[in-house]
């Protein structure tokens, strides 16, 4: 499924754009001032076995980190 050019932040619904097209970016998403991630439903959730994709803007991620709702795991570099 092709991704949309604009996508809203999961939290604040601010529009986020992809800097490069899928053809240019390959596997990278290259969101402008935002991150993307997968949400995996496991046993105990009504969404067990489902995997979702979501976008969060950098401002909302920064606030979530400061409020300790999101924890740093590691750098992938
Ligand atoms: Zn946001």
| Averaged pLDDT, groups of 10, the chain, 77 residues long | 75 93 77 94 97 95 97 92
What is the Å distance from ligand 1's center to 69 Cα? 14
What is the Å distance from ligand 1's center to 13 Cα? 6
Please report the pLDDT score of residue 58 as a whole number: 98
- Alpha-carbon distance of 59 to 6, in angstroms, equals 17
Please report the pLDDT score of residue 63 as a whole number: 98
What is the Å distance from ligand 1's center to 30 Cα? 16
Please report the pLDDT score of residue 5 as a whole number: 61
Q: For residue 8, give every residue at least 6 positions away whose Cβ sits within 8 Å of its Cβ, in sequence order, or none.
A: 14, 15, 16, 55
Q: For residue 32, give every residue at least 6 positions away whose Cβ sits within 8 Å of its Cβ, in sequence order, or none.
A: 16, 17, 18, 19
And the tokens for 50?
Answer: 């489902």
Please report the pLDDT score of residue 4 as a whole number: 62
Residue 3 DSSP code? P
Torsion of CA 49, 55, 56, 57, to 10 degrees: 170
């Amino acid at each position: 499924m092709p991704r949309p050019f604009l996508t809203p932040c999961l939290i604040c619904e601010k529009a986020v754009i992809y800097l490069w097209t899928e053809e240019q970016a390959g596997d990278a998403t290259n969101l402008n001032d935002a991150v993307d991630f997968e949400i995996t439903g496991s046993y105990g959730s009504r969404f067990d076995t489902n995997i979702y994709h979501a976008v969060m803007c950098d401002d909302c991620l920064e606030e979530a980190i400061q409020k300790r709702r999101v924890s740093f795991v590691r750098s992938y570099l």
